[in-house]
Structure formats: structure tokens, C-alpha cells
Amino acid sequence: MNTFHLSGYPRVGAKRELKFAVEAYWKGAKSEAELQETAAEIRRLNWATQKAAGADLVPVGDFSFYDHVLDLLCTLGGIPSRFGFDAANLTLEQYFQLARGNATQMA
């Protein structure tokens, strides 16, 4: 018996919705709640699309707001101490500062 699944489904949305939502968040035009809502909708649509395509296994936990390697570092607590962030209680704003830098620290 064959099993069908997709191990690398795009996470930005069919029309790059995540890219535009993240950029709007960075500009202050979108709240964190709105960004989280966009992300949840993208995940929901991705799962539904894969299920409708007949996938036997639909991966979860593969979403990232910015970078999957940064996600792993945050999960493992391997973020640079120079930022002064608590890895166990990292906010989304701090996550993006790790990715992009801030006024006092380069990324």
C-alpha cells in the first residue's frame, strides 16, 4: 500500500499572504492578533488543501512566521544571550528582533 504526503508544503499562503501580513505588522499597520489570525487561516487552508488532494498524512508544526532554523533555536533555548531575552517566554516581537536585529543588536 502506498502512502501519500507532502513534506514541504509552502507556508506563505497561495498569494503570499503571510509575507504581506508580516510586513504590515512590522510597519504597525497590523496588530499581533491580526497577524496570528492570518497565520491560523493559512495553516487551516494548507491542511484542507492537502486533505482535499488525498494526502494520507498531513504534517503539522511546520509553520514559521519567518525562519524554521530560528524556530528551532528558540525551541532549544539557543538564542544569543546578548539580546537579553528569556527563551522560555519569547514574544513574537522579540522573535522578529532576533531575526532582523534591533536598535542595539544586529541580527
pLDDT digits (tens, 9 = 90+) for 46-97: 999 999 999 999 988 889 999 999 999 999 999 999 999 998 999 999 999 9
Distance from C-alpha of 99 to C-alpha of 104, rounded to nearest angstrom:
14
Domain residue ranges of the chain, discontinuous segments joined by +: 10-55, 64-107
Question: How many H-runs (helices) and E-runs (strands) does the chain carry?
Answer: 4, 0
**With 0-12 CB in 10 A as exposed, 13-18 as middle and 19+ as buried, what is 55?**
middle
Model confidence, pTM: 0.88
Q: Indicate the DSSP class of residue 65.
A: S
- 17 pLDDT exceeds 90? yes
